[in-house]
Amino acid sequence: MSARSRIAQIGCGRIGQVHLRNLFAYPERCELAALVDANEPALTSIAADYRLTNISTDPSIVFDDPTIDGVIIASSTETHAAYIIEAARSGKSVFTEKPIALDLESTDRALAAVDETGTRLQVGFQRRFDRGYAAARQAIENGDLGAIEMIRDAMRDPAPPPLAYLEKSGGLYRDMTIHNFDCVRWLMGDDPVELFAMGSALTGDDIVAANDIDTSIVSMRFPDGSLASIENSRRSGFGYDVRTEVFGSKGALHVGDSRQTPVRRYDASGVREDHQYFFLERFRDAYEAEILSFLQAVIDDTDVAVTGADGRAALRLAIMAESSRQSGRPVVASEFPSEIEIEPLSRMIISA
Amino acid sequence: MSARSRIAQIGCGRIGQVHLRNLFAYPERCELAALVDANEPALTSIAADYRLTNISTDPSIVFDDPTIDGVIIASSTETHAAYIIEAARSGKSVFTEKPIALDLESTDRALAAVDETGTRLQVGFQRRFDRGYAAARQAIENGDLGAIEMIRDAMRDPAPPPLAYLEKSGGLYRDMTIHNFDCVRWLMGDDPVELFAMGSALTGDDIVAANDIDTSIVSMRFPDGSLASIENSRRSGFGYDVRTEVFGSKGALHVGDSRQTPVRRYDASGVREDHQYFFLERFRDAYEAEILSFLQAVIDDTDVAVTGADGRAALRLAIMAESSRQSGRPVVASEFPSEIEIEPLSRMIISA
Amino acid sequence: MSARSRIAQIGCGRIGQVHLRNLFAYPERCELAALVDANEPALTSIAADYRLTNISTDPSIVFDDPTIDGVIIASSTETHAAYIIEAARSGKSVFTEKPIALDLESTDRALAAVDETGTRLQVGFQRRFDRGYAAARQAIENGDLGAIEMIRDAMRDPAPPPLAYLEKSGGLYRDMTIHNFDCVRWLMGDDPVELFAMGSALTGDDIVAANDIDTSIVSMRFPDGSLASIENSRRSGFGYDVRTEVFGSKGALHVGDSRQTPVRRYDASGVREDHQYFFLERFRDAYEAEILSFLQAVIDDTDVAVTGADGRAALRLAIMAESSRQSGRPVVASEFPSEIEIEPLSRMIISA
Amino acid sequence: MSARSRIAQIGCGRIGQVHLRNLFAYPERCELAALVDANEPALTSIAADYRLTNISTDPSIVFDDPTIDGVIIASSTETHAAYIIEAARSGKSVFTEKPIALDLESTDRALAAVDETGTRLQVGFQRRFDRGYAAARQAIENGDLGAIEMIRDAMRDPAPPPLAYLEKSGGLYRDMTIHNFDCVRWLMGDDPVELFAMGSALTGDDIVAANDIDTSIVSMRFPDGSLASIENSRRSGFGYDVRTEVFGSKGALHVGDSRQTPVRRYDASGVREDHQYFFLERFRDAYEAEILSFLQAVIDDTDVAVTGADGRAALRLAIMAESSRQSGRPVVASEFPSEIEIEPLSRMIISA
């Protein structure tokens, strides 16, 4: 009989339900020990479907249960840091959705708790578990591309989120580009020394009301002179779009279009293919792989693949980008204060 | 709380384990009530991993349990028909891997049992649940392609199976092409009136020893004059290959290449992509969808999507193809006897 | 100063104008010495545009001019054989559009004249000069694919030609499939030992009036057991379609879709690409390359790349296919009479 | 008889020979009246091949011949402006390879001469005549993409040029990126208001010796808030790479990979395609189309498609980019002096 871990989950919204499905599909690695959500009707309904009985709106059923090995945190962003701290103090392994927090101070408190208690923390940068991105990283490590000279990393959402979401999002760079920052620094194997951000608000009144941007290009220089460009948009018109191109001295590698089906339709107007519309579809396998990776780390008592330090580093780049955009100037990493000096977006900073 | 079905599974080999994983991932639709396999050590090991207790090498634990709603039959081919009959007589819904049997007589006995008892039988032609093939069928039904004029359906395995498999397989047409026969008649919405098969043994001694072929082209004519071509090979050199092209008066639709990742690698030798190597990978989602469809039919007490009659029709075409190949002549469907007249492959016909 | 050849052209219709353009683009290899066409107004207009003065409706200006090295024959099919004979007897190299003739007897007379006079004859199977098909042939010769096991060769026209064309075309197999027959035997490096043809008339009254078919599948077996399938249609609904797949023991090679531009359009309905509509577009470069190859053979006094024997062999396969279709039986090549026994299509056989 | 123009060409190096071939292929539109090149042996050899007699190393045979309608300037960059001025003063239409000059002052003198004499000047931004880019522009004009929000335009050369070329090139932005600047402003239909350039020298000693860069990202903001990113590299490792993505509120359009052949090779290592290696191959048709467009403007006495003002605007952006890169600061277009203030690259500025 294989070893398996007892896992609790906090939060069963959209992404939480993705995790639940994946946990159930691997009974040999995981037993779902408890489910918590602040929304009681939703919790009750989902628990009934899944025949779960150890449920509560109170997360203490997780933290007070010594038989629970690990916690999946899929609750709203402003709760992440506090739950990480409680989980760490109760000796449990933690998987948290990104970001740890919207500010470095809260992030640092959470990381300190993990550090002090010697538990493990995995941050939900699922892209690293996508087979395409994993192949890109492997090719770079193998030296297949030679010396990396440039990375272009683009991500677009199908349509802008509602104002209510935008107001709590932390802004484009902390909410969306943070995935690109993690991806680029992971592929580069380094942090940038300089960064310049250019942004615009093109999609309408909500973005302006949130004091945010929806369209952005961030360029970065790395210690060895290699460059990177990140493109983002809150609106694509054609569905979720994530694509990354890595250029090296010996060749290039593109992580490109992802299709729903291998169907091509030919008619008088040409040839048509479909396109994945949503990130949950694009990264379905990656969400499964990241949870399996976390479970394996818990079972084997080993390091996680994406650390809290990774989460902090990506957040810091997001804050640097926001600073660059607001000042209209490049930001030099070595001169950037650990005390954050950017103008907060209206209603943006939320204490943990 | 959603309704869910109590499902037993017989057989936990390669394809059985695929079904098990999918059953566990949907606890709101299914409770795994029993697991049976003739191989006791394998059964014990898998059951331990999944924490299953109601297990046996004796399938009577399934047929004698009135609380079980449905049975997944994933055991070896020669057992299918007998288990279908027992399951039908105990009033259970049945999902069986293809084929129902290697001969029409056994098939007809199984179908008669299902018919008499009024249960339901779904045959595991998983391709119909692939999103690409489902889109093809939908486009045809919508009239997007106009009148269908030709279908080309190709399937290749990465490498020939071992002699032991070949000897029990029923030959290329019953073992492999049967999927193409189902696919083409499903897409055409009709059965062919004429069929011609040309085959060769090119991969080596095993195929010759099994009195079988490994390379084949079957051409078919349908009542409205439309044509179809099926290509098969037991060896591709590059992995599993399934691709289908439908040509109509207004356009065409191809179900084409399927890749592991959306990665393109550029170097001095050109551009490289990956390719799926195995059918389990290509049809992973289809295997999930066919089981979900079966569970839904059980829960909702509705018809299944792929019937026993479909299984029989595809088998009949396979037998006609074998007859054409052996005689070197086209076969006219209306003149083909229900009594099968082909020379049996050596050691090929196995009673249920 | 490079050597160049003095070339005359007979016929300046659609394909003739393609050749003219290519001849002019390479003044270092060719001087256009004379232009002949039966249609005087068309000839006069084109000659004026190109500033050509040595023109006539009478081809004797070509055959009687000892300074002319070679002749491009792009006139109507029924004139090819006679012009080849006259050109050969006047000692000129000949490039002729396919087919040499619609019957083997005329073909053999033309080949005999070439043989007796020791001139050279190139047949316009332009596909062999397409970079895609040339790469396929090269890969096969290199052994990249291992032993060739199957070829699938498909060609579709955008829309059926008018009745007037159909009546003089020689039927689908001699007019259209002849390209596929040449391509398959060239790639296989061999001639088939057995052939079976299945055809239908699906596009309407004209095809029926011409006693012809518009949709066909031909399957063939080669001496080593390898198989081939040829698909044709007179109607695609989406433009010209030519694609070929070669399968070997070590891998496969596809000559696939050909696009007008590398543009992909993304919107809510998916992704769209364009598609070449016409064979002149698809094989534009091949038409240039075949003429350059012919010019080079004339200048260097070497063999041509596609011989009269190739033209005859493809025609014979076309006649075998027509015979198989009409009889509903496979045709064995070794038993097929050199005296052709097929029923002539109505008004189909045209003496040279 | 169609009207045709009498055209002279100055320069018969690599790109000059491309133009020559295209001029000869259209005898109905153009008569080649004279050929000039400073390299007498090369000139003599090429003229002999093409049977041209009116040749000289002295361009006055062009400017002094009143029967010549137009001049193709394909000589070295430092001669362009002076030849444009002479051609304009002798009343001839001019097609010049890019750039007009490496500095704005020389450019302005050339444009003034064209303006004063009322002749026409077309600049060789051939990309605009590529069918892919033309389709992109048309889609934007049609409103297919909605409001344009971002453009990403990437161009990479297979390998860095030799030092001798680099020293006379004017630097990456004037030599290479100038094509991207033209392309982006043409697609946007506007000029940027702000620009930021980040560059590195990664390919070795030659680039450093030339005081140049080989890797660059330029980001730009346009008056309506839309953004653009230009990526360049002097080294790709896999061949010439040009690709452009246009993102709008309703969808996107990519001008993507361009292949030599539609061949896909399948083997155990995956699937391989080829890739065009050189810009002459990628833009072969565009070079033909731009010359045909120029000839037509001469014949019809109409405006050219790419004007001297376009050439000047692209050069100004290149100079702004060089300034931004050297200062490490964004450049605001409205504040950028017409007097150029950048540090000249060593040995870079060449008087016309």
Per-residue pLDDT tens digits for B80-130: 999 999 999 999 999 999 999 999 999 999 999 999 999 999 999 999 999
Predicted-assembly ipTM surpassing the 0.85 threshold: yes
Helix (H) or strand (E) holding A181: helix A178-188
Query: DSSP 3-state assignment of B146?
Result: coil
Structure tokens that stand for D307 in this block: 């004007």
Angle at Cα B245 formed by Cα B134 and Cα A274, nearest 5°? 55
Yes or no, beta carbons of A261 and B131 under 8 Å apart: yes
Which amino acid would we find at residue B175?
D
- Average pLDDT value for chain B: 94
User: Which residues of chain A are within 8 Å of residue C267 when distances are taken between CB atoms?
Assistant: 237-238
**What are residue C267's DSSP bridge partners?**
C270
Strand pairing category for A331-332 and B148-156? unpaired
Asked if A252 reaches chain D (Cβ–Cβ under 8 Å), the answer is: yes
Give the residue from chain C lying closest to B223, CA to CA: C200
- Average pLDDT value for chain A: 94
Render pLDDT for C257-266 as a digit per residue (tens, 0 to 9): 889 999 999 9
Query: Which one-letter DSSP state was computed for residue A252?
Result: E
8 A C-beta contact, residue D34 and residue D61? yes
8 A C-beta contact, residue B248 and residue B172? no
- Sign of the Cα torsion C25, C28, C29, C35 reads positive
DSSP H helical segments within chain B, as ranges?
14-24, 40-50, 60-63, 77-89, 104-117, 131-142, 163-169, 172, 178-188, 205-209, 279-282, 284-300, 308-327
User: Which residues of chain C are within 8 Å of residue B150 when distances are taken between CB atoms?
Assistant: 215, 217, 231, 233
Whether pLDDT at A341 is above 90: no
Asked if B235 reaches chain C (Cβ–Cβ under 8 Å), the answer is: yes
Distances (CA, A) of D253 to A253, C268, D151: 21, 12, 10
Structure tokens that stand for B320 in this block: 């006609």
Round to whole Å and give the CA distance between B326 and B216.
12
Yes or no, beta carbons of C25 and D28 under 8 Å apart: no
If we measure between CA atoms, which residue out of A39, A32, A30 comes closest to residue A12? A39
User: Which residues of chain A are within 8 Å of residue C270 when distances are taken between CB atoms?
Assistant: 238, 272-275
Assign D337 a pLDDT band (cuts: 50, 70, 90): confident
Q: What is the pLDDT of residue C338?
A: 67
Asked if D333 reaches chain A (Cβ–Cβ under 8 Å), the answer is: no
Render pLDDT for D88-130 as a digit per residue (tens, 0 to 9): 999 999 999 999 999 999 999 999 999 999 999 999 999 999 9
Assign B337 a pLDDT band (cuts: 50, 70, 90): confident
User: Which residues of chain C are within 8 Å of residue D19 when distances are taken between CB atoms?
Assistant: none
Q: Which of C26, C251, C254 sits opposite D267 (nearest CB)?
A: C251
Which amino acid would we find at residue A207?
I
Contacts of C326-334 with CB under 8 Å at 24 or more apart are C328/B330, C329/B329, C329/B330, C329/C196, C330/B196, C330/B328, C330/B329, C330/B330, C330/C194, C330/C195, C330/C196, C331/C194, C331/C195, C331/C196, C332/C193, C332/C194, C333/C191, C333/C192, C333/C193, C333/C194, C333/C195, C334/C193
Q: What is the pLDDT of residue B352?
A: 29
If we measure between CA atoms, which residue out of D201, D181, D202 comes closest to residue D192? D181
Yes or no, beta carbons of C268 and A236 under 8 Å apart: no
Question: Could you tell me what percentage of chain D is helix, strand and coil, using 3-state DSSP and rounding each to the nearest 5?
Answer: 40, 20, 35
Nearest chain D CA: its distance from A301 CA (Å):
35
Round to whole Å and give the CA distance between B10 and B5.
16
User: Which residues of chain C are within 8 Å of residue A271 when distances are taken between CB atoms?
Assistant: 238, 257, 272-275
Residues 6+ apart with CB under 8 A from C114: C84, C88, C94, C120, C121, C308
Assign D338 a pLDDT band (cuts: 50, 70, 90): low
8 A C-beta contact, residue A330 and residue A324? yes
DSSP H helical segments within D119-277, as ranges?
131-142, 163-169, 172, 178-188, 205-209
Render pLDDT for B315-336 as a digit per residue (tens, 0 to 9): 999 999 999 999 999 999 999 9
User: H helices then E strands: how many in chain C?
Assistant: 13, 15
Give the residue from chain C lying closest to B253, CA to CA: C238
Yes or no, beta carbons of D328 and A328 under 8 Å apart: no
User: Which residues of chain D are within 8 Å of residue B236 when distances are taken between CB atoms?
Assistant: 266
Whether pLDDT at D239 is above 60: yes
- Token pair 């279709």: residue: C325
Q: Which of A156, A227, A330 sits opposite D328 (nearest CB)?
A: A330
For residue B274, report the phi and psi dihedrals to the nearest 5 degrees.
-95, 180
Q: What is the pLDDT of residue C258?
A: 87
Q: What is the pLDDT of residue A258?
A: 87
- Token pair 């394998």: residue: B42
Whether pLDDT at D345 is above 70: no
Render pLDDT for B194-243 as a digit per residue (tens, 0 to 9): 999 999 999 999 999 999 999 999 999 999 999 999 999 999 999 999 99
Yes or no, beta carbons of C256 and D262 under 8 Å apart: yes
Return the C-alpha torsion angle D313, D315, D318, D320, nearest 10. Answer: -60
Distances (CA, A) of A62 to A67, A267, A292, D99: 9, 57, 20, 69
Structure tokens that stand for A219 in this block: 């360029």
Whether pLDDT at C248 is above 50: yes
CB crowding B115-129: b at 16 or more within 10 Å, else e = eeeebbbbbbbbbbb
Round to whole Å and give the CA distance between A45 and A35.
12
User: Which residues of chain A are within 8 Å of residue B131 when distances are taken between CB atoms?
Assistant: 260-261
Helix (H) or strand (E) holding B216: strand B215-221
Structure tokens that stand for D101 in this block: 């000059």
DSSP H helical segments within chain D, as ranges?
14-24, 40-50, 60-63, 80-89, 104-117, 131-142, 163-169, 172, 178-188, 205-209, 279-282, 284-300, 308-327
Render pLDDT for C194-245 as a digit per residue (tens, 0 to 9): 999 999 999 999 999 999 999 999 999 999 999 999 999 999 999 999 999 9
- Average pLDDT value for chain C: 94
Q: What is the pLDDT of residue B338?
A: 67
Yes or no, beta carbons of A27 and B48 under 8 Å apart: no
8 A C-beta contact, residue C186 and residue C137? yes
Q: Which of C236, C241, C274 sits opposite A270 (nearest CB)?
A: C274
Helix (H) or strand (E) holding A296: helix A284-300
8 A C-beta contact, residue A57 and residue A43? yes
Round to whole Å and give the CA distance between B11 and B57.
9
- Token pair 């002699």: residue: B163
**What are residue B31's DSSP bridge partners?**
B6
Best of B23, B155, B267, B288 to disrupt the A interface by mutation (most A CBs within 10 Å)?
B267
8 A C-beta contact, residue B173 and residue B188? no
- What Rg value do the Cα atoms of chain C yield, rounded? 21
Asked if B219 reaches chain C (Cβ–Cβ under 8 Å), the answer is: yes
Q: Which of D49, D254, D263 sits opposite C255 (nearest CB)?
A: D263
Q: What is the mean pLDDT of residues D341-346?
A: 40
Q: How many CB atoms lie within 10 A of CB D66?
A: 9
Asked if A257 reaches chain B (Cβ–Cβ under 8 Å), the answer is: yes
8 A C-beta contact, residue C72 and residue C291? yes
Q: What is the pLDDT of residue B11?
A: 98
Q: Which of A236, A241, A270 sits opposite C272 (nearest CB)?
A: A270
Round to whole Å and give the CA distance between A84 and A94.
7
Nearest chain C CA: its distance from B42 CA (Å):
35
Instruction: Tell me what percent of the residues of chain A surpass a pLDDT of 70.
Output: 95
Query: DSSP 3-state assignment of C154?
Result: strand
Residues 67-86 in D contacting C (C-alpha not used; CB under 8 Å): none
User: Which residues of chain B are within 8 Å of residue C329 when distances are taken between CB atoms?
Assistant: 329-330
Q: What is the pLDDT of residue A339?
A: 53
Give the residue from chain C lying closest to D42, CA to CA: C1
User: Which residues of chain D are within 8 Å of residue A329 when distances are taken between CB atoms?
Assistant: 329-330
Q: Which of B270, B273, B275 sits opposite D274 (nearest CB)?
A: B270
**What are residue D155's DSSP bridge partners?**
D232, D242
If we measure between CA atoms, which residue out of D263, D229, D261, D257 comes closest to residue D243? D257
User: Which residues of chain B are within 8 Å of residue D270 when distances are taken between CB atoms?
Assistant: 238, 272-275
Q: What is the pLDDT of residue B339?
A: 53
Yes or no, beta carbons of A261 and B268 under 8 Å apart: no
Yes or no, beta carbons of C257 and A236 under 8 Å apart: no
8 A C-beta contact, residue A236 and residue A161? no
- Token pair 């460009």: residue: A229
Whether pLDDT at C342 is above 50: no
CB crowding D68-96: b at 16 or more within 10 Å, else e = bbbbbbbbebbbbbbbbbbbbebebbbbb
